[in-house]
Structure 1
Amino acid sequence: MSATPAYDPSNVFAKILRGELPAHKVYEDDKALAFLDIMPRCPGHALVIPKAPSRNLLDVAPEDLAHVAKVAQKVAKAAMTAFKADGIVLQQFSEEASGQIVYHLHMHVIPRHLGVPMKPPHVEMEKPEVLAEHAALLRAALGS
C-alpha cells in the first residue's frame, strides 16, 4: 500500500471554506461546515466537511472526524424532518478506488424514501432555486 498523497488546498471544498466558491450552506460552526451537494442523489443530499485540511478518512485527525460525525448526525436528524424521509444514507469515500472525487474529507448525508431510488452519482446538477429551497428547509429543521 502506498502512502496517502498530501492534502491539496486547491480542492473545491477548500475553496468553499475560503469563500472563493458559493455553496448552499445549512450548518456551520468553528470546526465543520454542512452544505448541499450540487448534484444530489436525492432531495436534501448534504455534505459535511471539517474545516481542518483533511484529504479523507486516512489522514483526518480523530477529533475532527468525531466532530464531522456529530454534525452529520445533526444534519441527518434535521433531514428526516425537513424531507419527511424514511431513512438516511451516510457515505464516505477515501481515495480513487473507493469513488472519491473531491479530496477533502466529506460525509454524504442523503435522505431516503422507501421505494424511491437514488439518482446515479454525478449525473445532474440541480437548479440553484431548488437547492436554495432545500437549504432553507434544512436550516429551518436545524433551527438556524
Structure 2
Amino acid sequence: MRQADCIFCKIIAGEIPSNTIYEDDTFKVILDASPASKGHALILPKKHYADIYDIDEEVAGKAMKLAKKLAGHMTEVLGCDGFNILQNNHEVAGQTVFHFHMHLIPRYQNAENNDILMWSHENFSDEEMAQIRDSLSRN
C-alpha cells in the first residue's frame, strides 16, 4: 500500500532520488537528506504505515532486527563512537514525515551536536511514581 502524497512512498517508488544503502523486499534504507551526523540513515518500510500505532507487528520486529544489523555495520565502517536508534510518533514527539521510519544516527566524540537527544529530567514524588506504575502495569 502506498500513499500518493507521502514523500517516503515517492522515494521508495523511485520517483524521488535517494542515497540508498540497503534494500530488500520489505525495507529501503536511505541516507537522511538533512543528517544529524555523518552516516545518519532512515529505515523505511516499503508499505505505508503512519507510525508505531499503525505498523504491522511483524514488520516492526523486522525493522528492529535490521536496525541492529545496520548499527553494527555502520559502526564498523564509519568508526563512530556511539549510536542512536530513534523512532518518533506524532508531531509533538518530533515526527515530521507521517510514514513510519527509524533513524540510525552514528555518534562521534566531540561532534558539534552531541546534545541532539538531551532533555531536562522531570521529578515525580514516590506517590506519583507509584500511581504511574500502577496505571501502566499489566497483569
**Paired residue for 1:58?**
53
In 2: Cα distance, 1:97 partner to 1:118 partner: 21
**Paired residue for 2:103?**
108
Percent of aligned pairs with the same amino acid: 34
Please list every run of 5 or more consecutive structure 1 residues that lacks an aligned counterpart in the other structure: 1-6, 122-144
Please list every run of 5 or more consecutive structure 2 residues that lacks an aligned counterpart in the other structure: 117-139
**Paired residue for 2:125?**
none
C-alpha distance 12-120 of structure 1, shift in aligned 2 (>3 A): farther
Runs of at least 4 residues off by over 2 Å: 117-121
**Paired residue for 1:138?**
none
Deviation digits for residues 80-105 of structure 1 (CA, Å, limit 9, x no counterpart): 01110111011110011101000100
Aligned residues: 115
Instruction: Report SS of the residue matched to 2:84.
Output: strand
The two structures have a TM-score, normalised by structure 2, of 0.77
In 1: Cα distance, 2:112 partner to 2:29 partner: 23
> Are residue 27 (structure 1) and residue 36 (structure 2) matched?
no
> Are residue 76 (structure 1) and residue 89 (structure 2) matched?
no
1:1-144 to structure 2, matched below 5 A, reads: 8-118=3-113
| Aligned partners of 1:8 and 1:103 also within 8 Å | no
Structure with max Cα Rg: 2
